[in-house]
Amino acid sequence: MNCLENSERFFINGQWVLPSAPDEKSIINPATEEPCGHIALAQVQDVNRAVEAADAAFGAWSNTTCAERLEILGRIPSIYQRRAEEMAQAISLEMGAPITLARESQTTAGLAHIEETLNALRHYQFEECLDDILITHEPIGVAGLITPWNWPMNQIACKVMPALAAGCTVVLKPSEVAPLSAVIFTEILQEAGLPAGVYNMVQGEGTVAGDALARHSLVSVVSFTGSTQAGIAVAQAAAPTVKRVLQELGGKSANIIFPDTDFADAVERGAQECFGNSGQSCDAPTRMLVPHDLMEKAMEIAAKVAQSLRIGNPADSLTEIGPVVSSTQFNRIQTLIEKGTAQGAILAAGGVGRPAGLMQGYYVRPTVFGHVTPDMVIAQEEIFGPVLSIMGYADEDDAIRLANSTPYGLAAYVQSGSLERARRVARKLRAGTVTLNGAAWTVKAPFGGYGLSGNGRECSRFGIAEFLETKAIIGYGVDPQAH
C-alpha cells in the first residue's frame, strides 16, 4: 500500500514532515496478531507545530466565501471514490473489518458524510436579520479532532468535513490503533488542494498527542469520539482554556420489541445489528427488550443468528464477522462474558474463548445472554463486542423504564406494528437517536447522545453548526444618517 510511505510522517502546513523525535508504534493486524506497519508517534512539540500552522491559516480560510469553500471541498468526493478500494483494504487490515463490510459500509459511510456535508453547506444560512440585529454564525477557530478506530472513515469524515465547511482550520489526531485509513484520507485532501495549514494530521497516543491537542490555548473546539472515560479526560484537559468540547461517547442502546410486530423478524434483525462490525459500534442495539413470556423464543431466535454467522478471515468476501480490534478489547470482552455467567444470566449461544478452528486472531464468539436483569454488569457496561443481552419487560411503561435505566443515551430502537405506539414510546426514550421499525441509517439525521454518551451533534447541517460561534451585531439595520 502506498499509504505506508507516509505512515511514519505527519501532515503539517501542507507537507508530509518527519516527527520531532524517533518514536513509533507497530500497527497490529487483529486477524493475525502480527505487525502490518508502523506509525510515528507525535510529541507535544509536533502537536504544537500543527496547531500553530492551523492558527496561521485560520484568518484566510475563515474569510473565504461559502462558494469558495465549496469549490475546494467539492474536489474531494471524486478523489475519494478513486481511492475507495485502497481505503477499504486499509480499514480491513488495520481493524479487522470483513472486506465486504469495509467496502460497502465503512468506506461508503465516509463518502456519504463528505457528500452530505457539501450539500448542507450549499444551503446553510450563515447570516440572518432580526429587527435591526444581524445574527452571524462564524467559524469558531482551530478545531482539534480526535477520532476512534471502530468506524474510522465515518468518524473522520463527519468531523473534518463540517469543520472545514464551517470555515475552521483543523488538526486531526486519528486513532493510533487503526491509523492507515487516516493517512489515505489525508492524501486525498492534499490532492484536493486545500491551502497549506487548513488541514493538518498528527498520529499519536491519546495520552500524549490527544492531551496536548485538548490543552492547547490556540485550539477553540475539540471534537472527540471514544470511550466515556477518555472523553472525561479530554474535557478535563480542555477546561482551563474554556474551549468548546464536543463528545460522542459510549452507548448501551436498547431495542424494544413489542409483540404486535413480526417478532421473529425483529429479533433476527436486532441480533444481526448487534453483532455487525464484531459488535464494535457505539450505537449497536446491545440490549434487546422483549415481553417476559417471549423470552425463551427470543433467546432461541437470537442464538440461531449467532450460530449461523460466518466468522473468519476478513479478506474473504464471504466473512460476516471478523476479529475485534486488539488483545485489550478481546480480553475485556472475555471478562465481561464471564461476569454475565457469574451473575446469573442464561447463556443461549457463544461464551468465552475463540470460535472453533480460529486459534490465531482476536476472534470472539457471538454471544447471546437471556434473562438479563438491570443490576447485571452486562446490562450496564458497554462491552464493545458481539454480545447481546436480552431483558424481559412486563408492559410498555416497564419497557421504557428499562430502556432508560443506564447512564448512557446514544441510541435506541423500537419495533412495533403500531406506528402510533412506536412514536409515543420514542418520545419517552432518553436517547439522541431513536430508530423505528428498522428505518434505514441516514447521514442527514443529527447524531449524538444524552448523559454519559456525550454532548453535541454530528452529521449534515447539525455538524456544521457545532463549529460555529454566534455573533449579534445590534443596530446593524439602522442608518445613522437617518437621524
The residue type at 134: L
Give the span between the Cα atoms of 340 and 319, in whole angstroms.
27
The candidate with the shortest Cα–Cα distance to 317, out of 98, 12, 475, is: 98
Cβ atoms of 10 and 202 closer than 8 Å: yes
Give the C-alpha separation, 278 to 348, whole Å.
18
Longest dimension (CA), the chain: 87
User: CB of 20 within 8 A of CB of 45?
Assistant: yes
Neighbouring CB atoms inside 10 A of 430's CB total 18
**What is the Cα Rg of the chain in Å?**
23
Please tell me which residue in 3, 158, 274, 282 is annotated as part of the active site: 282
Terminal-to-terminal C-alpha distance of the chain: 69
Interatomic CA distance for residues 352 and 400, integer angstroms: 31
Enumerate helices (H) and strands (E) in the chain, giving the number of each. Answer: 17, 22
Other beta carbons within 10 angstroms of residue 2's beta carbon come to: 10
Give the CA dihedral 365, 275, 175, 363, nearest 10 degrees: 20
Coil, strand or helix at 459:
coil
Q: Are 345 and 389 in contact (CB under 8 A)?
A: yes
The sign one gets for the Cα dihedral 301, 408, 469, 52 is negative
Catalytic residue, from 52, 248, 320, 458: name it.
248
Return the closest-CA partner of residue 95 out of 280, 291, 274: 280
Nearest to 109 by CA among 433, 440, 439, 354: 440
248 is catalytic: yes
Please say if 282 is a catalytic residue.
yes
Distance CA 138, CA 123 (A): 15
For residue 359, the tally of other CB atoms under 10 A from its CB is 8
- The C-alpha atoms of residue 105 and residue 462 are separated, in whole angstroms, by 22
The three cell numbers locating residue 30: 487483529
Annotated catalytic residues are 248, 282
